[in-house]
Amino acid sequence: MSGSPDAAPLAQANWHEVPRKKKYDYGRLIFQLLFLLPAVAFLLVFMFYPIEETFRTSLMQTSGVGESTYIGLENYRALIFGVHSEEFRAGFVHVLIWAFWSIVIQIPLAFFIAFSLVAYKSRFTGVLRVVYYMSSIIPSTIVAMLGRFVFAPKFGVIATLSKTLGWTWLARIDFLGDSGNVFWSLFAIATWAYIGFGIVYLMANIEQISADIREAAELDGANRFQYAVYVVAPMVSYPIRILAIINTVGCLKLFDIVYLMTQGGPRYSSTTLAVVLYRQGFVNWHYGLAAAIGVVIFLMSLFLSVAQFSLQRRGGDIA
Amino acid sequence: MFRTRSVVLVLVLLGLVLLAGALPAFAQSKVKLTVWGRDLPDDDPAHQYIKKVVEGFQAANPDIELDYVALGDPGLMDKVKVVMASGSGMPDIFQSWGGSVMGGYADAGRLLDLTEELAHIECSEAAKGAMTWKGKVYGVAPFFAVAGVFLNEPVFEELGLTVPTTVEELEAVADTLLANGIQPFACGARDLWPTLALYMYLVDRYGGIDAFEKARSRQIRFDSEPFVLAAQKYQDWVKKGYFGETPLSEAYGDAQVSMAIGLAAMHVTGSWMCAQYSDPEFTDQTLGFYPFPEMPGGKGKLTDIMGQTDIGFAASITAADKVDAVVRFMEYAMSVEACSADPGRICSVPGVPAPSRLTQMAAEVFGTAEAIQFWWDQDLPPAVTTPLNTTIQSFFMPETDVKQALAAYEDLVAAALGPVK
């Protein structure tokens, strides 16, 4: 057939098509680049350049106003071993404590509330879901003001209630001024403010568990607590792990509620890395030190984010 | 007829076009002056001065377009710091408390030297000094505040107490107040800076007016004797309960309320509180203003007064091409007309009457001053001001070793200003 007179034009046509396929489609490339350009420019200007500048500034002695001097790793040394170490170490330790207790307290609490809302579904479930989530959408300034109003001595909610009930021991507790109590006072407010997201996130996952599994557990004689602990919790372990990482990264950046309620005090009793960063940069005019703290927060967040992605890869989709 | 009408119509239209063309040019000839301040120019009694400045200046200077922006506290300080650091977006004039913060901007070349232009404006030497840095004047301070003791006079009268003139008398008064269920001092230690006023006076009364200056200029350490003695006295008073049971939970606003309802009897703070403490809508108590008592055996005197700018304005280098408008603004800010609108601050302009008995008392304390020490946190560089207030706040914690806390602060100062020579 190939030697037939009709085959010759076809072969000629195929011979012509081969180089056409190899030809690069520059129009398409330009089109792709044009669409990528805004995103790339945005990332370069608002993400990579500030990160590079933060790293560079962390090696300088600068007040932000006037000249800068290169001092190598001196800012890091001052933070870890030098005159600023007390405040930095306090901030560093506090974010780790925050992260620990948020995993130990906030996540189990969010899980049990989410489970209760799913397991004991009623006509109030929707309303309760809104109520729990509402705290998450209230601006942190308002949350901090409410927190101050609750814990304020003499005229606060707790002080007034305890006076009304005659509980003088409660009225005497210094919630925000005692270095032993201040963490738990702030943690209580933060738990209220941030738990809503965890509840809604876990509810969405628990609701996806098949009803057959629940029936099977009931047939095996499991009560609701056992069903929650031994069946549901393992099934939502992946979202719980993700929530733990989100909480930990959030703790590293914790600023608003702490600064607005106590400014990190008394002394450094409730300070966090972000509060130390703000104070060094914008109050004490130590831009270099503030940048060094920013680098520490960035590296810790990066490490946790990598861990999060690695978990996602291993955990796969929600069961 | 039709032709005449057409000609008139064309002429009118031509006139309108020419006018429209000329309007932008006319508008451009108007100088625009951007001023950043802390307070809103609203009806709040504490904002009456700024309201008068904004409205009065605009009315008196129609050729200048005033753009006043209220940024609040600490918004004003933060935003000024950011624009001064970047060197762009600076306002022509901004509200400033002078001192070392203003000095930092001046050293960086961000401020407009107005030494000659403002030389004719009359004001107190203390206010002028506050807006002067390294011999150059960068602005004006129409109001100057002094620290002293606000005191609940009826409570004192009821308990048969007299105004203390020595620290020993002050302690006796505090003990009597405490025994009668009244908190001796209101403070607001949670907000850090309110703790400073009392400490400044205690150090002065132990070590004299030059104690702080010697430490600042690195002749003595910040953990030397007068500083430690003052800290020990401060902590001793905290332990005795002079500041109540929960002083570190109380903000400056809480301290004001404690004074307003008679829960606390004394408040060592700045005279900027005169307007509020005179306001019958805020308090039904009658308060007086007195100098901080002397320390028997100490070097400080009753006439050593701590003071700072209450309201001031400085000009940035951005306004270099509109110096005339800037000076006219400064002149109006320092006018009797504008200053008379304020209901409580001590005015540094001659000829402005004190608006209340309390302000009059504070002005008298200011008038008796033989030596004025600028508020420490305005006199020290920003690198060590908040750590100073944090250190003083730690005196409120019973477990704090004040010597160690001051030694740690001295290390910070040594790192920022150099070691003691």
Residue B412 Cα, gap to closest chain A Cα (Å) = 6
| Closest chain A residue to B75, measured at CA | A282
pLDDT in tens, B283-324: 999 999 999 999 999 999 999 999 989 999 999 999 999 999
pLDDT band at A319 (very low <50, low <70, confident <90, very high): very low
Contact A297, A274 (CB under 8 A): yes
Q: How is residue B372 written in tokens?
A: 């004025």
Answer whether residue A39 shows pLDDT above 60: yes
Confidence (pLDDT) at A232: 93
Residue A140 Cα, gap to closest chain B Cα (Å) = 17
Whether B244 and A267 lie within 8 Å, measured CB to CB: no
- What's the mean pLDDT in A247-264? 92
Whether A266 and B394 lie within 8 Å, measured CB to CB: yes
Q: Which CATH architecture has domain B146-307+371-417?
A: 3-Layer(aba) Sandwich (3.40)
Burial B14-24 (b: 16+ CB within 10 A, else e): eeeeeeeeeee
**φ and ψ at B33, to 5 degrees?**
-120, 115
3.90.1170.50, 2.40.110.10, 3.40.190.10, 3.30.460.20: CATH of B31-144+309-355 = 3.40.190.10
Residue A55 Cα, gap to closest chain B Cα (Å) = 18
For residue B295, count other CB atoms closer than 10 A to its CB. Answer: 23
The secondary element (H helix, E strand) that includes residue A69 is strand A69-70
A178 touches chain B (CB under 8 A): yes
Name B85's Cβ contacts closer than 8 Å, sequence gap at least 6. A64, A65, A287
**φ and ψ at B343, to 5 degrees?**
-90, 0
pLDDT in tens, B177-205: 999 999 999 999 999 999 999 999 999 99
Residue A95 Cα, gap to closest chain B Cα (Å) = 20
- Using CA atoms, how far apart are residues A233 and A240, in angstroms rounded to an integer? 8
Residue B108 Cα, gap to closest chain A Cα (Å) = 5
Answer whether residue A318 shows pLDDT above 50: no
- The question of ipTM being above 0.90 is answered as no
Domains of chain A (ranges; CATH) run 7-46 (no CATH), 74-315 (1.10.3720.10)
pLDDT in tens, A87-146: 999 999 999 999 999 999 999 999 999 999 988 888 888 888 888 888 888 899 999 999
| Closest chain B residue to A87, measured at CA | B387
B contacts of A282 (beta carbons < 8 Å)? 78, 81
pLDDT band at B268 (very low <50, low <70, confident <90, very high): very high
Q: How is residue A83 written in tokens?
A: 């005159």
The domain segmentation of chain B, as residue ranges, is: 31-144+309-355, 146-307+371-417
Residue A264 Cα, gap to closest chain B Cα (Å) = 10
pLDDT band at B126 (very low <50, low <70, confident <90, very high): confident
CA B253 to chain centre: 16
Confidence (pLDDT) at B2: 52
A211 touches chain B (CB under 8 A): no
Nearest to A176 among B249, B397, B412 (CB): B249
In a mutagenesis test of the B interface, which of A53, A61, A63, A65 is the best target, namely the one with the most B β-carbons within 10 Å?
Answer: A65
Coil, helix or strand for B286? coil
B396 touches chain A (CB under 8 A): yes
Window A:63-122, CB contacts with B under 8 Å: 63-66, 78, 82-84, 86
Whether B110 and A64 lie within 8 Å, measured CB to CB: no
Whether A265 and B250 lie within 8 Å, measured CB to CB: no
A175 touches chain B (CB under 8 A): yes
pLDDT above 70: percentage of residues in chain B: 93
